[in-house]
């Protein structure tokens, strides 16, 4: 039974192209399947276009959900990138 | 920063400016880890495509892991196919992506930056056909 793990990050900036690319590149390092959930929208964290397609903006909460053997590590890494990369100027 | 052994990407466009701008964007999103080469315009930099420019682009993009070619419009594919038919040294493996130009370039750059092989980079580019932006 693969483990599942999640965390919620409140965006301090809009989720633009570069942070989306950073997230997708980081997500690819993990075996777990990873989703980003914003409201009713869901993105595959390993797909840069999927991440940009959810149109997440400043102040919104993004739920990171990973399922798989390395789910806790994946959620921790992506939470940090999401928190940092969406700061103004990123 | 290592650029060794990631799949290279050649952007073939009828417009040199379009190829260069797309390469700039995709390169940045690939974290600077991927060889992305613009091959746009005719030999005298008019609108159109050039076998010579694409051939040079393939050589520049190849770092040993193979190359993905992304054409902007269908007739760019004819140029790429003519080049392959000409023979001569070509990267191996070499694939042509059937994908939207900007989205495909960005998706391919990110997939190449993660160390994906040519098939994985091709697949990422072609999945861009289904990505919604609204």
Q: Identify whether B2 is part of a domain.
A: no
What's the domain count of chain B?
Answer: 1
SS3 A7: strand
Interface confidence (ipTM) of the complex = 0.87
Chains A and B: how many Cβ contacts under 8 Å?
46
For testing contact with chain B, the best of A21, A27, A30, A54 (most B CBs within 10 A): A21
Residue pLDDT, tens place only, A6-58: 999 999 999 999 999 999 999 999 999 999 999 999 999 999 999 999 999 99
Contact by Cβ (8 Å): B50, B79: yes
Annotated active-site residue A60? The verdict is no
Integer angstrom CA distances of residue B123 from A3, B1, B13: 28, 26, 20
Q: Identify whether B66 is part of a domain.
A: yes
- Write the residue in B113, B115, B131 that is nearest to A53 by C-beta: B131
Evaluate if pTM is beyond 0.80. Answer: yes
Q: What is the CATH number of the domain that holds B108?
A: 3.40.50.510
The domain ranges of chain A are 4-85
* pLDDT in the model for residue A1: 54
For residue B46, the tally of other CB atoms under 10 A from its CB is: 11
- Whether the pLDDT of residue A85 is over 90: the answer is no
* pLDDT in the model for residue A14: 92
Q: Residue B15 belongs to what domain range? A: 8-130
| CB pair distance less than 8 Å for A52 and B133 | yes
Residue A77: CA count within 13 A, CB half-sphere: 18
Class of domain A4-85: alpha beta
- Whether the pLDDT of residue A78 is over 70: the answer is yes
Q: Identify whether B3 is part of a domain.
A: no
| CB pair distance less than 8 Å for B114 and A48 | no
Q: Identify whether B89 is part of a domain.
A: yes
């Amino acid at each position: 039974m693969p483990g599942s793990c999640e965390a919620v990050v409140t965006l301090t900036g809009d989720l633009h192209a570069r942070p989306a690319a950073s997230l997708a590149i980081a997500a690819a390092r993990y075996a777990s399947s990873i989703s980003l959930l914003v409201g009713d929208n869901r993105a595959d964290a390993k797909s840069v276009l999927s991440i940009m397609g959810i149109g997440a903006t400043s102040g919104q909460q993004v739920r990171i959900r990973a399922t798989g053997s390395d789910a806790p590590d994946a959620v921790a890494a992506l939470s940090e990138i999401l928190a940092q990369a969406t700061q103004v100027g990123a | 920063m290592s650029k060794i052994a990631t799949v290279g990407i050649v952007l073939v466009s009828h417009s040199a400016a379009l190829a260069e701008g797309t390469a700039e964007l995709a390169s940045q999103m690939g974290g600077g880890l991927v060889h992305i080469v613009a091959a746009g315009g005719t030999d005298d930099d008019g609108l159109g495509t050039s076998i010579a420019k694409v051939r040079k682009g393939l050589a520049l993009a190849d770092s040993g892991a193979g190359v993905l070619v992304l054409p902007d419009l269908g007739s760019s594919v004819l140029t790429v196919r003519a080049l392959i038919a000409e023979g001569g040294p070509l990267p191996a493996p070499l694939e042509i992506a059937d994908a939207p130009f900007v989205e495909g370039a960005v998706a391919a750059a990110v997939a190449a930056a993660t160390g994906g092989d040519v098939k994985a980079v091709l697949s990422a580019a072609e999945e861009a056909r289904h990505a919604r932006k609204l």
